[in-house]
Amino acid sequence: MSLGTERAALERLFQVELDSSIRKEPQVVWVIIARLALLSVALLSVTATSFFLSREQAARAELLFLPLFGLFAFCGLSAIWLKFFRPSGWFTYTQLAADVFLITGIIYVTGGPGSPFLFLYLPLMMATVIFFSRRVALVSCGFSSIAYGALCFAMSKGFLPPIDGTLVVPVPTGGLFLQWLGLTSAAILVSVLTGFLTRKVTSHVELFERSQSHLRALLSRQQQLFDGLPEGVLFTNQEGEITYINEAAEMILERRARDVFEMRIDELSYDLGCSCDLRSKMSQESGSGELSFSLGSDDNAVRKVEYQHRMLRGTDGERIGTAFIFQDITHLRSIEEQLAVQERLARLLVEGEEERKSAPRKIRLDGFIGESPVMLKMFALIERVAPSDATVLISGESGTGKELVARAVHLGGNRSDSNFVPVNCGAIPDSLLESELFGHKKGSFTGAVSDHVGLFRQADGGTIFLDEIGELPLQMQAKLLRAIQEKQIRPVGSDVTYPIDVRIIAATNRNLKDEVEAGRFRDDLFYRLNVISMSLPPLRDRKEDIPLLVHSILERLSQGERPPIVPPQTMQFLMRYSYPGNVRELENILERAVVLSGEAILPEHLPESVLKEPAPRENRPGETLILETDIDFPVNLDDLLNTIEKHYLVSALSQSDGIKKKAAELLGMNFRSFRYRLQKFDL
């Protein structure tokens, strides 16, 4: 068999090992590094022991420097080879042969067959199996067996003298053979067992890696599936912390995944500004609901979201979290609202005048229009109060229709055939109030050229409506209280008192309780007026009445002509506006639109404030800091400011139930600044 044929046979026999050796370049590098470390130890050992030997023994020991330096050179050449070429199978076997030669040399130096380092062959076998393969380890085992057998034979025959100077090693030939056979058997056994364990460990590692790979692939497919859904998907753990949110949920909720990851679901609810407590839904097996919140890009825009939730359970049936599915239904709800508005307008247009006039009083009371729940309650209260003569106090913002309510009470009672006398107390100068209310005699003061009956006597038998009652000065409040209690008045400049029979209805846009506490309004007059209290809601709290009001106001402004049409787009702007001036402002807006429009009122006919309403900033209690005017100096300003700051931080945390993001919003600061201040005070 030629050399080429032998090489081909060996390559076929060790094809797997050769290929694996080529693929395992890092393992070869580690073998070279380990050999360099062992050579360094051997070189130091020989150098150190040469000082303690006799001259002849030291001379023999110094002969080992040459092979050691040769092995160092071999390692250097191997490293250079690896830098420019990929290691072949023969390169790997050459490295193993060098290691066998090194270990055999160490055994020779340390006593030959009696050396305590015979075990070094076994770690070499184990390393070969782990780094390469079992077959390569068996080849290395063969190298080791041949090398050790040759060493024993040479030393027993005197061809290679021991390092201590004796001619032959003092071990019987039979003992050497048994020692060689035992070492070879041990090396083979270690190679086989190590290979078996390595395969087991490798198979388990590969199985684990495959499982990890399958898991990553499954998670990737799940991610692609969820991100491809048009609905938002959000997962929480059993503590309510958000663990996953897909791209659709990011767009619907306008929150990035990294910002809400590990945020509690109740913190997200508060961050969105919605009243729905999503955390309370986690205790339910499943369910659905709807939430709405303002968009961060537009304070006036509201997003409506429908959600479904289902409890997640593990393989053992225990609850592990909750899944929320979100769907943006803003456009759908907008269409539904537009259809409802169109249907309501169409219904109003086809109603005849007689049908509207004969409508139930709870829907229409002489210009006071509304069919919202809060207005229906108001109409019911008016119907119950009107027949009596009890004093009524009406409160509400300017423009809410307090005078209309007063007229409705008057017309619904037994005094409807008598006078209804409205009085704006804030429009009459203080010096003329008594004269206007109670009358005066001719010549009682400068300018009194004739007798004046007074508004109370004009309303005799009917109703007097005291609007803006909170504007009355304290002196006039006392005189009014006396007139109400005694049911008689005395004109200015007269000695005669006149009995009066009037029903008193008062109205104010102030909080009279606060005025009483501040000393600006008499408490006895307040209790005398506040027999029956009516509170009118602002228009922004009953927007479902806006279409009815628009239709009624346009009919009145058209003066018998066909009123202009209000398209859904225009109605949508009117429904969205907050109306700080209430119904009076709505009337002004529509009057302006009628002048500018033709047959239809379009959005461009509305004021700019309606089309683009700025978001009003609400004044929150607690923003005013009471400062002392008398300060005793010196003071430590830093300590004082820190005390105040810490007090506000603790109060905000207490009010927000420990939710830091909510507490930061209560203090009007971003979360990063809030967290810095908490760390500053160790809170």
Whether the link from the prior residue into 230 is cis, omega within 30° of 0, is no
- Residue-wise pLDDT for 66-115, tens only, equals 677 777 777 777 777 777 777 677 777 777 777 787 778 777 777 777 77
**Picking from 225-239, 275-289, 420-434, which range would have the lowest pLDDT averaged per residue?**
275-289
Q: Calculate the alpha carbon distances from 533 to 9, 138, 315, 575, 608 in Å.
A: 111, 105, 61, 29, 37
- Percentage of the chain lying above the pLDDT 90 cut: 10
Q: Is the pLDDT of residue 665 over 60?
A: yes
- 384: exposed, middle or buried (Cβ count in 10 Å: 0-12, 13-18, 19+): exposed
- pLDDT tens digit string along 70-82? 777 777 777 777 7
Check whether domain 229-328 has CATH 3.40.50.9100, yes or no: no
Q: What is the DSSP string of 610-646?
A: HHT---PPPPPTT-PPP--SS--S---HHHHHHHHHH
Q: CA 408 to CA 416: how far, in whole Å?
A: 9
pTM summary value: 0.43
State the span(s) of the chain assigned CATH 1.10.10.60: 619-683
| DSSP assignments along 560-609, one per residue | TSPPPB--HHHHHHHHH---TTHHHHHHHHHHHHHHH-SSB--GGGS-HH
Domain with CATH 1.10.8.60 in the chain: 349-357+540-611
Residues of the chain with CATH 3.40.50.300: 364-533
pLDDT at 13: 36
CATH 3.30.450.20 domain residues, the chain: 229-328
Kindly tell me if the per-residue pLDDT of 617 is higher than 70.
Answer: no
Q: Give me the mean pLDDT over the 285-301 stretch.
A: 70
Average pLDDT of the segment spanning 43-58: 69
Q: Longest Cα pair distance anywhere in the chain, in angstroms?
A: 160
pLDDT digits over 131-141, tens only? 777 777 777 78
pLDDT greater than 80 at residue 385: yes
d(CA 57, CA 283): 87
Task: Kindly report the three-state secondary structure assignment for every residue of 414-461.
Answer: CCCCCCEEEEECCCCCHHHHHHHHHCECCCCCCCCCCCECCHHHHCCC
Q: How far is CA 381 from the centre of its chain?
A: 45
Strands 420-424 and 463-467: parallel
Residue 291 has pLDDT above 70, yes or no: yes
Direct distance between the N- and C-terminal alpha carbons of the chain, in angstroms, rounded to an integer: 87
DSSP string, 299-360: EEEEEEEEEEEEEEE-TTS-EEEEEEEEEE-HHHHHHHHHHHHHHHHHHHHHS-HHHHHTS-
What pLDDT band is residue 6 in, cutting at 50, 70 and 90? very low
Q: Specify whether the CB–CB gap between 378 and 534 falls below 8 A.
A: yes
Tell me: the pLDDT tens digits for 538-555? 988 888 888 888 888 888
Distance CA 499, CA 509 (A): 30
Which residues have a Cβ under 8 Å from the Cβ of 251 and sit 6 or more positions away? 232
Q: Give the count of alpha carbons within 13 A of 34, CB side only.
A: 19
Report the alpha-carbon distance of residue 652 to residue 662 in Å, rounded.
8
Domain made up of 349-357+540-611: CATH architecture: Orthogonal Bundle (1.10)
User: Phi, psi at residue 460, to the nearest 5°?
Assistant: -60, 125
* DSSP-assigned beta bridge partners for residue 365: 368
CATH class of the domain whose range is 619-683: mainly alpha
Question: In 3D, which of 504, 500, 506, 441 has the Cα closest to residue 469?
Answer: 506
Average pLDDT estimate for 563-570: 86
Which tokens in the block code for residue 368?
Answer: 């006071």
- Kindly report the CATH number that applies to the domain delimited by 364-533: 3.40.50.300
What are the b/e assignments for 317-350, b being 16+ CB within 10 Å? Answer: eeebbbebbbbbbeeebeeeebeebeebbeeeee
Task: Tell me the pairing of strands 319-328 and 364-365.
Answer: unpaired
Per-chain mean pLDDT for the chain: 77
Q: At what angle do helices 121-131 and 89-109 cross, to 10 degrees?
A: 160
For 97, the token pair is 């042969």
Q: Which residue did the predictor score with more confidence, 615 or 644?
A: 644
Residue predicted with more confidence, 163 or 74:
74
Please say whether the beta carbons of 307 and 325 come within 8 A.
yes
d(CA 683, CA 680): 8
- Please name every residue paired with 467 in a beta bridge, in sequence order, or none if there are none: 424
From the list 458, 460, 455, the residue with the least C-alpha distance to 502 is 460
| Integer Rg of the chain from CA | 50
